Structure 1
Amino acid sequence: MTEKGKMLAGKIYDSSDKELAELRTKAHKLSQQYSSLYEDDERRKAILDELLPDHGEGFFLQGPVYFDYGVFTKFGSGCYANFNLTVLDTCPVTIGDNVFFGPNCTIATPVHPFRWQERNMKKKSDGTVYDDEYGKPITIHSNCWIA
């Protein structure tokens, strides 16, 4: 099983995996690009379509936004998020229709081991530093207001 497969299944995975690092970097760049544009800039839609390919119609995210991966988050139709929405989607995040987020909301799927002996940073033989991490999926049903 790949590290990405482990991550999405909620199993302990290596977050330093090359594929995951590339996906995160892409999402961080797209988040930054989106956040740097004004609300009426038509380029925002194309960025969201790439960052969040599984979304409904008529949803709006006020910038700035921050996504760890983006591609593992699904937005329903008619959703709105105010300033500083952060989504750490190491496991699937499913957001129903007509969900509203107030400013500074964070959706965080990552979980770290509770015992420090398992949680502390580790070093691979090549010197790469990593930590053990896993996640739990989050589902927010339709018509919720998170603030």
Structure 2
Amino acid sequence: MNEMEKAAAGLLYDANYDPELRRRREAAKARLFEFNHTPPGEQARREVILRGLLGRTGAAFLIEPPFNCDYGYNIELGENFYANVNLVILDCARVAIGDNVFVAPNVGIYTAGHPLDVERRNQGLEYAFPVTIGDNVWIGAGVSILPGVTIGAGSVIGAGAVVVKDVPASVLVAGNPARVLRPITGADRLRFSTKAG
């Protein structure tokens, strides 16, 4: 079993040992450099770059630069995805994001982790567990989503949260570690009016 297969199976693997993994990371970094250095008016060019980098995109999506990831091909975006500046996705495993997901600035989505014991960690070994984000999720500024997490549809992740375990659908979570504060209900529609006066 090669290092890519180990990673896909959720086993410890050496990302620096495998020449194919190194080659793929370098190719992603080259595309990201181009994406992150496009002038502000070249949104169409940015979209072409990302469609060539990411595993799947919807017809409509927008990622504000700078954006960084490890490989790109493990990232799947649904329709109407929006990410503000400084999104980081360590996509050593699959990151599946649903439709109508909005991401605030300085968010990190991490599939990769390292062993707790010093000996294996110092050998450069790591693991990767997939992250899944359901439809209609809003992720607040400065959120960290850790390996293996699933976020249920319609949930809101409050700014600064560190999400270490699965989040049910249609709830508000916040904190470090993130915890469910309350369900999101029809009453939340009444909090803000779209009518002036």
TM-score normalized by the length of structure 2: 0.67
Pairs within 5 Å for 1:122-133:
122=123, 131-133=124-126
User: Could you tell me which residue of structure 1 aligns to residue 8 of structure 2?
Assistant: 8
Superimposed CA distance per residue, residues 113-134 of structure 1 (whole angstroms, 9 cap, x where no aligned partner): 01112211x3xxxxxxxx1111
**Displacement of 1:28 after TM fit?**
1.1
How high is the sequence identity, in percent, across the aligned residues?
40
**Displacement of 1:52 after TM fit?**
0.8
Distance 1:69 1:50 in 2: 11
Distance 2:51 2:134 in 1: 22
**Displacement of 1:40 after TM fit?**
3.1
Task: Supply the RMSD in Å over aligned alpha carbons.
Answer: 1.1
Distance 1:135 1:95 in 2: 17
Please state if 1:137 is matched with 2:156.
Answer: no
Distance 2:98 2:85 in 1: 19
The equivalent position to 1:110 in structure 2, one of 96, 103, 112, is 112
Superimposed CA distance per residue, residues 93-132 of structure 1 (whole angstroms, 9 cap, x where no aligned partner): 0000010110000101001101112211x3xxxxxxxx11
User: Could you tell me which residue of structure 1 aligns to residue 170 of structure 2?
Assistant: none
User: Could you tell me which residue of structure 2 aligns to residue 26 of structure 1?
Assistant: 27
- Three-state SS of the structure 1 residue aligned to 2:39 is coil
Which amino acid in structure 2 is aligned with residue 38 of structure 1?
Answer: P
Please state if 1:70 is matched with 2:72.
Answer: yes
Distance 1:133 1:53 in 2: 22
The equivalent position to 1:50 in structure 2, one of 34, 45, 52, is 52
Q: Runs (4+) of structure 1 moved beyond 2 Å?
A: none
**Displacement of 1:32 after TM fit?**
1.4
Unaligned stretches of 5+ residues in structure 2: 141-197
**Displacement of 1:39 after TM fit?**
4.1
User: Could you tell me which residue of structure 2 aligns to residue 128 of structure 1?
Assistant: none
Alpha-carbon distance change, 8 to 39 in structure 1, aligned in 2, over 3 angstroms: farther
TM-score normalized by the length of structure 1: 0.89
The structure number with the bigger radius of gyration is: 2
- Three-state SS of the structure 2 residue aligned to 1:104 is coil
Superimposed CA distance per residue, residues 57-88 of structure 1 (whole angstroms, 9 cap, x where no aligned partner): 11100000001000001000100000000000
Distance 1:20 1:105 in 2: 24
Instruction: Report if the CA contact (8 A) 1:9-1:91 is conserved.
Output: no
Unaligned stretches of 5+ residues in structure 1: 123-130
User: Could you tell me which residue of structure 2 aligns to residue 126 of structure 1?
Assistant: none
Distance 1:3 1:140 in 2: 26
- Three-state SS of the structure 1 residue aligned to 2:49 is helix
